[in-house]
Chain A
Amino acid sequence: MLAFIARRLVYMISTLVLISFVGFLIINLPPGSYIDVFQAQRQLQGTHTAEAELEALKRRYGLDKPVPVQYWIWVRGFVRGDFGRSFEFNREVSELIWERLGFTVAIATGSLLFIWLVAIPIGIYTATHQYKLGDNVATIVGMAGLSIPDFMLALVLMVVIQRLFGFTVGGLFSREYVDAPWSLAKVIDLVKHLWVPIVVVGTSGTAGLMRIMRGNLLDILNMQYVQAARARGLREATVVVKHAVRNAIHPLIMLLGMSLPTIISGSLIVSIVLGLPTTGPLYFNALRQQDMYLAGTFLMFLAFMLVLGNFLADILLGLIDPRIRYE
């Protein structure tokens, strides 16, 4: 198992190195150097940039040095948490991302948990009760959940909740709590707001995952080892959980690995519609404004999360399946 993890780790690191080339390339893709853009922007705002400040920036990014050295400086900074500056906000990228990361992660892990806790049991139920009433109902509801776009659901929920219950659900806090210091009341207010994005993002994810779980489990339930386990006299629940579900869970773990980047990107459209202070809208803006250090950092993060997700999924699969472990 250790050799298996070590091998995966080597793959992961080499992929990350490759990705860093692409990330650097993208940051340097816009015409003109960073300094030119910075200067032009300052001029647009009517302020003059001091020579000394420009010099400092040049030194920081090694802009007078050859490209490989620039790359090295950038990578070194990146590893230490120096992601460069955002032109749009004229602030450090790390600060910008950091202040939004908490809520993003909270919403994303909340909806991932919601999806898994709801989808897996329903998927198991529908597979073991194929074509029975419960399965048909779950299928119809699932199809509806899958086909309603999440931003639409977000809008409908906002309107309905406002009309029926009289409180706004946009954002993460009511107006009076936005700048208030943390208190129990503020936390309660947060929870009141948090469930909406979680349900919205969770609905379509749940529907999809439920169908995948059902399909896989139906395949596995027809396998001979499931019949053989039943023929041993095992309880049906043991047959399903121990022998069928564990075999059917592989693709879901791969999916979970793939969905790790959403923890950072957040659910973009839903976040914009609901006005959530997550990193999703920030990323979207950075791309629109060619805010290259911000955008590049996001790209790197997303790629990193994807690679990390796959790495974790590989390890999980290795733990579950001896055939992968001993490959």
Chain B
Amino acid sequence: MADRTETILEVRNLHTHFHTESGVVRALEGVDFTLNRGQVLGVVGESGCGKSVTAQCIMNMVPSRGRIVDGSVIYHQRNGQGTEAVEITALPPKSREMRRIRGNEIAMIFQEPMTSLDPLYTVGNQLLEAINLHQDVDRTEARALAVHSLDRVQLPEPERVFASYPHQLSGGQRQRVMIAIALSCNPTLLIADEPTTALDVTTQAQILSLMRDLQDETHMSIIFITHDLGVVAEMCDEVAVMYLGKVVEQTDIDTTFYSPRHPYTQALLRSIPRLDDDQGRRLEVIAGSVPDPSSIPSGCRFHPRCPDFVTGVCEQREPVLIRIDEDHQVRCHLYDETASSQPGTQP
């Protein structure tokens, strides 16, 4: 049984930059969060805020133009009795140690099920790839494991799916296959990068409930990347909110929805349409739009759009992460008792 207070993954002050022809894109500028064993952490934010890059950093698979310039990702690997801290960001991306973690300890599923399977190989071929790589089994055992993992994600006729090519399956089926591949080696951490965004609503609900069931069954930890707060409410125990390459708030699911502290989180929640709303009331929007990553605002990155903007503070100094209680961190001057003119009050 998983111990929900034992840390499995720590992301500390992660900075990742991309060197492009038009200059340096600072994709991540301070991502901090921790994940406990058996927990589901939602990482939410608008498009381009660095959610997927964060996932790539954890897998140590940053594209060749990107570089982790600061910070670290530490994975607490179980071995025998205790745990061993592995600094993923210190491992060479192509090293044997890193490859032993990828797919085996930490698995990942992707946003586009239509393109995440190689069209030239059967489902079985790609599933066996993972199994043969990480498990010491012979051919018949490997095949049995593969068919079993297809069965586990509730694919009807797993034998037939095993022999199918990706183009013979629907989007929902392909995402199930991706989940089967990811879970075939019983990872302790699953990174799901918007796994339901490209699916229609019905299929989305099915995939979510499948993931929920599998999580209950295996007690693996999940990092669930999404921009859909409804999905977060359904899936997650903890939420990290990202804005322009920084985590601005991390806390548990209830606090996120009922008493969020960061003005950005509050604004996000106000902009969700509700069925029980008064008719005719306009949906609230966050003023302005996400700035271009090449012209990032000074001070707090959210200050031009922030309703609680404090002149003279917010546009001048970058806020640091402030620990409000044991399980609640926020990056906002409003809660900085040493510097802010409005100490510790909730706006």
A225 to B36, CA, bound (A): 29
Question: B134 within 8 Å of A by Cβ?
Answer: yes
Interface string of B190-201 (1 = CB under 8 A from A): 000000000000
A229 touches B108 (CB 8 A): no
Question: B64 within 8 Å of A by Cβ?
Answer: yes
Total contacting residues, chain A, CB less than 8 A? 24
A224 touches B116 (CB 8 A): yes
B118 touches A232 (CB 8 A): no
Note all chain B residues with C-beta closer than 8 A to A233. Answer: 99-104, 130, 133-134
B64 touches A130 (CB 8 A): yes
When A and B form their complex, what is the total count of cross-chain residue pairs whose Cβ atoms lie within 8 Å? 79
Question: A100 within 8 Å of B by Cβ?
Answer: no
- B133 (CB) vs chain A CBs: closest residue: A233
A230 touches B61 (CB 8 A): yes
A224-B112, A326-B165 known; A232 and B130 CB under 8 Å? Answer: yes
A247-B118, A321-B120 known; A227 and B130 CB under 8 Å? Answer: no
Question: B129 within 8 Å of A by Cβ?
Answer: yes
A326 to B115, CA, bound (A): 19
A322 touches B167 (CB 8 A): yes
A130-B64, A224-B111, A322-B167 known; A231 and B103 CB under 8 Å? Answer: yes
A228 touches B120 (CB 8 A): no
- A323 (CB) vs chain B CBs: closest residue: B167
Question: B321 within 8 Å of A by Cβ?
Answer: no
User: Which residues of A128-152 are within 8 A (CB) of B?
Assistant: 130
B120 touches A320 (CB 8 A): yes
A230-B61, A233-B133 known; A323 and B100 CB under 8 Å? Answer: no
A210 to B260, CA, bound (A): 55
B59 touches A322 (CB 8 A): no
Question: A8 within 8 Å of B by Cβ?
Answer: no
User: Which of A222, A235, A322 is close to B120, meaning CB atoms less than 8 Å apart?
Assistant: A322
User: Which of A231, A323, A326 is close to B59, meaning CB atoms less than 8 Å apart?
Assistant: A231
- B115 (CB) vs chain A CBs: closest residue: A224
- A230 (CB) vs chain B CBs: closest residue: B61
- A322 (CB) vs chain B CBs: closest residue: B165
B110 touches A232 (CB 8 A): no
Question: A36 within 8 Å of B by Cβ?
Answer: no
Note all chain A residues with C-beta closer than 8 A to B121. Answer: 243
- Quote the shortest CB–CB distance from A211 to chain B (angstroms): 19
Question: B253 within 8 Å of A by Cβ?
Answer: no
Note all chain A residues with C-beta closer than 8 A to B104. Answer: 233
- Quote the shortest CB–CB distance from A221 to chain B (angstroms): 9
- Quote the shortest CB–CB distance from B130 to chain A (angstroms): 5
A61 to B116, CA, bound (A): 62
Question: A76 within 8 Å of B by Cβ?
Answer: no
A229 touches B110 (CB 8 A): no
User: Which of A230, A246, A326 is close to B102, meaning CB atoms less than 8 Å apart?
Assistant: A230
User: Which of B61, B101, B119, B168 is close to A225, meaning CB atoms less than 8 Å apart?
Assistant: B119
B130 touches A243 (CB 8 A): no
Question: A35 within 8 Å of B by Cβ?
Answer: no
Interface string of B70-105 (1 = CB under 8 A from A): 000000000000000000000000100001111110
- A235 (CB) vs chain B CBs: closest residue: B99
Question: B244 within 8 Å of A by Cβ?
Answer: no
Identify the 9 closest CB pairs spanning chains A and B, nearest first: A233-B103, A233-B102, A232-B103, A231-B108, A225-B118, A322-B165, A233-B99, A224-B115, A232-B130
What are some 15 contacts across the A-B interface (CB < 8 A)?
Answer: A224-B111, A225-B118, A228-B108, A228-B110, A228-B116, A228-B181, A229-B129, A231-B102, A232-B107, A232-B126, A232-B181, A321-B119, A322-B119, A322-B120, A326-B167
Residues of A whose CB lies within 8 Å of any CB of B are 130, 222-236, 243, 246-247, 320-323, 326
